Amino acid sequence: MNNLSQIWWPSPAKLNLFLHINGRYENGYHQLQSLFQILDYGDELAFDVNSSGKITLADPIVGVADEDNLIVKAAHLLKQHIPAALSTNLGCTIHLKKRLPMGGGIGGGSSNAATTLLVLNRLWGCQLTEAELSKLGLSLGADLPIFIQGNTAFAEGVGEKLQPVSLPKRSYLVVFPNSHVSTAEVFSLADLPRNTPKINFSDYSFANTHNDCQQLVCDRYPNVAKALHWLLEYAPSRMTGTGACVFAMFEHHQEALDVQKLLPTGTTSFVANGVNTSLLHSQIQAQI
């Protein structure tokens, strides 16, 4: 266990290659379809387990109280769902290398929480199944199950009904327009489209799908609109999730790097490859 505690574990980003809102459930949650593309780029976490019974974050995020951080919430949630006799003395100091922008729609916080659940489940010997961890994760956010499952997937429901799929390899230039978009705010907008017909994944193509949130966000956040308009000059591009990040899709990694060099000075961006299996899951399997 001590050896595993010294490991840095991936916490990958994701893109919504499309986002269709099909309706609304009685509880207010939105019924949607999306295609989650896992990327080979993200944050990293390390876990120093101890017997203090306390969860501490060694690298607090400025402006976010520890008790509001999804990493800490995930660790406490895991402790609550294992027998008290086993959990009383379980503690951990969690280290974070943060690369993904907050509020960008690429799943940074959700991915951090999912990595925490998956790794501490192993380090603490909790022995919860992936299905059980996904159920716990869903209580923290709709994006957690995709990271816990760890596969690029076609999603339905509120994003928790996942069908793993295999996509051709593509590279993505992801741009953060220096705007923070509230998911709750976007989904509360009266003029948000909520009647897009459902599709079968067999009919999917990037060209025949869209993001139902994109136009409303672009109307309200000029930085998002500007970044997206810039990318569209070079490749098929779209906003991911409820924003603020936008991305362009390329067949070759070098093409993405070449376009990245043309971005205005000071632009926050990264280039990543789409992968069908999360690097976190590959690393976990390698440790078994």
- Check which CATH number belongs to the domain holding 51 and give it: 3.30.230.10
Taking the alpha carbons at both ends of the chain, their separation in whole angstroms is 12
Measured CA to CA, the distance from residue 60 to residue 65 in angstroms comes to: 8
Q: Are residues 92 and 181 in the same domain?
A: no
What is the reported pLDDT for 5? 55
**Which segment of 4-18, 192-206, 208-222 scores lowest on mean pLDDT?**
4-18
Which of 73, 79, 143, 212 is an active site residue? 143
Which of 14, 43, 79, 212 is an active site residue? 14
The predicted-structure confidence for 17-68, as pLDDT tens digits, reads as follows 999 999 999 888 899 999 999 999 999 999 999 999 999 999 887 777 778 8
Q: Are residues 161 and 234 in the same domain?
A: no
Q: Are residues 38 and 152 in the same domain?
A: yes
Q: Are residues 149 and 11 in the same domain?
A: yes
Distances (CA, A) of 196 to 31, 62, 184, 205, 207: 10, 39, 20, 16, 15
Q: Are residues 27 and 66 in the same domain?
A: yes
Max mean pLDDT among 3-7, 73-77, 155-159 falls in: 73-77
Q: Does 48 qualify as catalytic in the annotation?
A: no
Q: At a CB cut-off of 8 Å and minimum separation 6, what does 46 contact? A: 5, 6, 7, 8, 9, 94, 95
Q: Are residues 14 and 154 in the same domain?
A: yes
Measured CA to CA, the distance from residue 26 to residue 32 in angstroms comes to: 14
Domain that holds residue 254: 171-275
What is the reported pLDDT for 2? 43
Rounded to two decimals, what is the model's pTM? 0.93
Q: Are residues 154 and 184 in the same domain?
A: no
The predicted-structure confidence for 76-123, as pLDDT tens digits, reads as follows 999 998 877 677 789 999 999 999 988 788 999 999 999 999 999 999
- Check which CATH number belongs to the domain holding 271 and give it: 3.30.70.890
Give all strands (DSSP E) within 141-267, no chain letters. 153-156, 161-164, 171-176, 237-239, 246-250
Q: Are residues 238 and 98 in the same domain?
A: no
The predicted-structure confidence for 227-259, as pLDDT tens digits, reads as follows 999 999 999 999 999 999 999 999 999 999 999
- For residue 24, the tally of other CB atoms under 10 A from its CB is 15
Residue 97, phi-psi category: left (phi > 0), alpha (psi -120 to 50), beta (remainder): beta
Q: Which two tokens stand for residue 247?
A: 């991305």
Q: Are residues 140 and 17 in the same domain?
A: yes
What is the number of alpha carbons within 13 Å of residue 179 lying toward its C-beta?
23
Q: Are residues 87 and 184 in the same domain?
A: no
Q: Are residues 161 and 189 in the same domain?
A: no
Measured CA to CA, the distance from residue 73 to residue 95 in angstroms comes to: 15
C-alpha angle 69-173-40 in degrees, rounded to nearest 5: 55
Distances (CA, A) of 283 to 11, 46, 118: 11, 13, 11
Which residue, among 45, 54, 168, has the nearest Cα to 116 in the 3D structure? 45
Q: Does 66 qualify as catalytic in the annotation?
A: no
Residue 53, phi-psi category: left (phi > 0), alpha (psi -120 to 50), beta (remainder): left
Q: Are residues 176 and 132 in the same domain?
A: no
Residue 222 scores a pLDDT above 80 = yes
Q: Which two tokens stand for residue 7?
A: 């490991």
What is the reported pLDDT for 81? 87
> Which backbone phi and psi does 194 adopt, to 5 degrees?
-135, 25
Residue 6 or 176, more confident? 176
> Number of structural domains, the chain?
2
Measured CA to CA, the distance from residue 128 to residue 37 in angstroms comes to: 26
The predicted-structure confidence for 121-177, as pLDDT tens digits, reads as follows 999 999 999 999 999 999 998 889 999 999 999 999 988 899 999 999 999 999 999
Residue 288 scores a pLDDT above 80 = no
Measured CA to CA, the distance from residue 99 to residue 61 in angstroms comes to: 12
